[in-house]
Amino acid sequence: MTTSLTRRVTATAVSAAALLTTATAFAATPAQAFTNDNAVTVSGVRYYAKAYSCNVYWRSCSWNSSISISKSKSYTHRADVKANGFKLSITISKGGGVTITGNSTSLVTAKRSSYGTSSYISGVAKPSIFSVSVSARTRLAAGGQNVSSGWTTW
- Quote the pLDDT of residue 144: 95
- Quote the pLDDT of residue 98: 62
Is the model more confident about 139 or about 98? 139
Task: Give domain status of residue 115, yes or no.
Answer: yes
- Quote the pLDDT of residue 17: 43
Residues 128 and 81 in one domain: yes
Residues 102 and 127 in one domain: yes
Q: What domain range includes position 112? A: 33-148
Per mean pLDDT, which of 50-54, 96-100, 108-112 is the most reliable? 50-54
Mean pLDDT of 132-154: 92
pLDDT at 7 over 90: no
Contact 115, 74 (CB under 8 A): yes
Residues 2 and 56 in one domain: no
Q: What is the pLDDT of residues 44-83, one digit of tens each?
A: 999 999 999 987 777 788 889 999 999 999 999 999 988 8
Task: Give domain status of residue 126, yes or no.
Answer: yes
Instruction: For residues 46 and 70, give the distance between their C-alpha atoms in angstroms, rounded to a whole number.
Output: 5
Half-sphere exposure of 139 (CA within 13 A, CB side): 11
Residues 20 and 78 in one domain: no
Residues 69 and 38 in one domain: yes
pLDDT band at 18 (very low <50, low <70, confident <90, very high): very low
Residues 43 and 55 in one domain: yes
The total number of structural domains that make up the chain:
2
- Quote the pLDDT of residue 115: 97
State the DSSP string of 44-82: TEEEEEEEEEESS-SS-EEEEEEEEEEEEEEEEEEEEEE
Task: Give domain status of residue 153, yes or no.
Answer: no
Task: Give domain status of residue 154, yes or no.
Answer: no
Residues 51 and 108 in one domain: yes
